[in-house]
Amino acid sequence: MFDSQSVLNHFAIGEVASGGYVAGQGWLPTEGREAFDAICPADARVVAKVAGATAEDYDAIIAKAVETQKSWRMVPAPRRGELVHRIGQLMEENIEQLAGVIALDTGKTLPECRFELKEAIDMAYLATGLSRQLSGGTQQSQRDRHRMYEQWLPLGVVGVISAYNFPAAVWAQNAFLSAICGNTVIWKPSPKVPLTAIACQRLAVQAMQEFGADGVFALFIPGDDRIAEKLVADTRVNLISFTGSTGVGHKVASIVSSTLGRRYQLECSGNSAIIVDETADLKQAARAIANSGAGTTGQRCTSARRAIVHKSIEAELIELLKKTYAQIRIGHFTEPGVIAGPLIDKAAIDHYHAAIADAVALGGKVEFGGKRMDRDGYYVEPTFISGCQPDWPCIQRETFAPVVYLLTYETIEEAIAINNGVAQGLAAGIQSTSLYNIELFLSADGNDCGIAKVNMGTTGADVGASFGGEKETGGGRTAGSDAWKMFMRRQSVCINWSGTTPWDKQIVL
Ligand code: UN1
């Protein structure tokens, strides 16, 4: 039996929770701060209140982050990795309670919450391994008896701004890399999901205290965007890693880049498509579209929004999709057998309705779904719409809801052009058994996204690879591969061990 009170008690989340953590001082007081509601989208009830951090709280947090970084940067990287490893262990030990908090914050089903946490834990262990491999290359010097190499040094303070849909994993992707790279982290989560941030921070505090490394991870939950902007504008913050909408991403980029030398890394809106060609296994294609389109209630940046379908198989695929969609059980995360939850809030429902109305007004046909469900909480039916055209505004924008638009094509080149014909460039998929079509899709003439998937859905990144996308998605990369490099400062070193200088013969000392 799910017991929300015991989940909240486990992380000491009371009626009014603290809106941040600053090293030395501890959890911010709740008095004298404006409290905002933490609402569970699964039943639209207030779970707790959070005392929003103030501008003065921010000043204390940043001062401590700058100070702590000065000692943290000299801690050997593998030791830094051990701190992150310990947080991973604590997340694993507390996975059921953490999953419960994510469910209360987002309404996601418990298996989805566990899956997110698995991603965060994997990220901790990946970062631990990477902490021994932050290596640069050796170059061949053109000079006699000189050695040249590249080294990677800590960057400073990193601000992590995360979205509501993956309240733990996005922090993990960014904060764990930041920490092993010798940086301190200020986390500004979405105020829609403050409880997950508080719970994760509690585990980070426990690990930091065990290691005598208080101050590596700080938490900052302002109730007001103007206070949040202080973090983005602060020249003491060397990198802002932002996950969220393209609109806010633009703003972050322009504020950060108004001072040269500061960095930003953006993971903004996606608009993923899956191409289904005439050689595809259509049952597999239907499952992949449904899973990527309706899974996590369509609230992933990688969610499939468009299915680009060969004309010859459209009718058959629509029938299979109807059968598939009919089996998607939507409901409260405590109900057995539920595979997707609600949208995050009322505004998200309005956005869902508006997108469907736009498509229908232009001639789209709702083949399945299209309505809000008549129950408490922000539930909608997973939806797919046929007869759509690539240039429709609702298809050009990201619809952050479980809506898939079906478009048709005749040649593979046309399908790829439709895939690429949007402003976003996060993930792309192809369902095919044609070697030619798959290779073309993956070639320089192929899809223009940061992530490409063959015979699978567009969601569910594997942490070993780098994660992020092109164009208006923002170009940033987090998670695996060499994404850690963004969190470090590169230095080209040259050492003269010849005992001579070029002016030896001209200047006598
Ligand atoms: C996001 O949706 O903003 O690969 C990030 C995936 C998830 C996405 C998380 N890791 O679908």
Q: Give the span between the Cα atoms of 198 and 80, in whole angstroms.
A: 22
300 lines ligand 1 (CB under 6 A): yes
In the set 116, 267, 314, 381, the catalytic residue is 267
State residue 20 phi and psi, 5-degree precision. Answer: 165, 170
Q: Which atom of ligand 1 is nearest to the CA of 243?
A: 3
Q: Please say if 439 is a catalytic residue.
A: no
Locus of tokens 């061990």: 497
- Could you tell me the pLDDT band of residue 20, with boundaries at 50, 70 and 90? very high
Locus of tokens 């509501």: 164
What does the block give as tokens for 368? 């399945």
243 lines ligand 1 (CB under 6 A): yes
Is pLDDT of 7 > 90? yes
Whole-structure pTM value: 0.97
303 lines ligand 1 (CB under 6 A): no
Give the Å distance between the CA of 322 and the centre of ligand 1: 26
Select from 114, 119, 166, 296 the residue to mutate for testing ligand 1; criterion: most ligand atoms less than 8 Å from CB: 166
Contacts of 166 (CB under 8 A, 6+ apart): 116, 119, 243, 300
State residue 6 phi and psi, 5-degree precision. Answer: -70, -30
Give the residue-averaged pLDDT of 50-66.
98
Is pLDDT of 440 > 90? yes
Give the Å distance between the CA of 507 and the centre of ligand 1: 62
Q: Give the span between the Cα atoms of 458 and 474, in whole angstroms.
A: 18
Query: Residue 95, exposed/middle/buried by CB under 10 A (0-12, 13-18, 19+)?
Result: middle
* CA-closest candidate to residue 468, choices 276, 301, 316: 301
pLDDT tens-place string over residues 156-192:
999 999 999 999 999 999 999 999 999 999 999 999 9
Q: Is the dihedral of CA 97, 103, 109, 113 positive or negative?
A: negative
165 lines ligand 1 (CB under 6 A): yes
- H helices of 11-166, in order, are 55-72, 77-93, 95-106, 110-130
Contacts of 58 (CB under 8 A, 6+ apart): 220, 222, 227, 230, 231
pLDDT tens-place string over residues 200-235:
999 999 999 999 999 999 999 998 899 999 999 999
Beta strand ranges found along 337-450 (DSSP E)? 365-368, 383-386, 403-409, 424-425, 427-431
Q: How many other CB atoms sit within 10 Å of the CB of residue 70?
A: 11
460 lines ligand 1 (CB under 6 A): yes
Give the residue-averaged pLDDT of 401-416.
98
pLDDT tens-place string over residues 312-344:
999 999 999 999 999 999 999 999 999 999 999
pLDDT at 232: 98
Residue type, 498: S
Q: Give the span between the Cα atoms of 187 and 212, in whole angstroms.
A: 20
Q: Give the span between the Cα atoms of 411 and 421, in whole angstroms.
A: 15
302 lines ligand 1 (CB under 6 A): yes
Question: Is-contact 153 491, C-beta < 8 A?
Answer: yes
Q: What is the mean pLDDT of the chain?
A: 97
pLDDT at 33: 97
- The number of helix segments (H) and strand segments (E) in the chain equals 16, 24
pLDDT tens-place string over residues 278-298:
999 999 999 999 999 999 999
| Residue 103 CB-half CA count within 13 A | 28
128 lines ligand 1 (CB under 6 A): no
Locus of tokens 């690539």: 390
Q: Which atom of ligand 1 is nearest to the CA of 300?
A: 2
pLDDT at 305: 98
Residue type, 23: A
459 lines ligand 1 (CB under 6 A): yes
**Strands 478-479 and 466-467, sheet pairing:** antiparallel
Q: What is the 3-state secondary structure (H, E, C) of 266-321?
A: EECCCCEEEEECCCCCHHHHHHHHHHHHHHHHHCCCCCEEEEEEEHHHHHHHHHHH
Domain boundaries, the chain: 76-268+474-492, 272-454
Orientation of helix 246-257 relative to helix 225-233, angle to 10°: 40
pLDDT at 223: 86
Q: Give the span between the Cα atoms of 145 and 22, in whole angstroms.
A: 49
Give the Å distance between the CA of 459 and the centre of ligand 1: 7
Residue closest via CA to ligand 1's atom 6 equals: 460
pLDDT tens-place string over residues 350-378:
999 999 999 999 999 999 999 999 999 99
Is pLDDT of 461 > 90? no
Residue closest via CA to ligand 1's atom 10 equals: 461
3-class secondary-structure state, position 28: coil
pLDDT tens-place string over residues 137-163:
999 999 999 999 999 999 999 999 999
Contacts of 136 (CB under 8 A, 6+ apart): 149, 150, 151, 152, 490
Give the Å distance between the CA of 108 and the centre of ligand 1: 14
Q: Is the dihedral of CA 251, 256, 257, 258 positive or negative?
A: positive
R_g over Cα of the chain: 24
Contacts of 96 (CB under 8 A, 6+ apart): none
297 lines ligand 1 (CB under 6 A): no
Integer CA distances (angstroms), 95 to 117, 196, 396, in order? 7, 12, 38
Give the Å distance between the CA of 296 and the centre of ligand 1: 10
3-class secondary-structure state, position 48: strand
Annotation: CATH topology of 272-454:
Aldehyde Dehydrogenase; Chain A, domain 2 (3.40.309)
Superfamily (CATH H level) for 76-268+474-492: Aldehyde Dehydrogenase; Chain A, domain 1 (3.40.605.10)
Q: Which atom of ligand 1 is nearest to the CA of 461?
A: 4
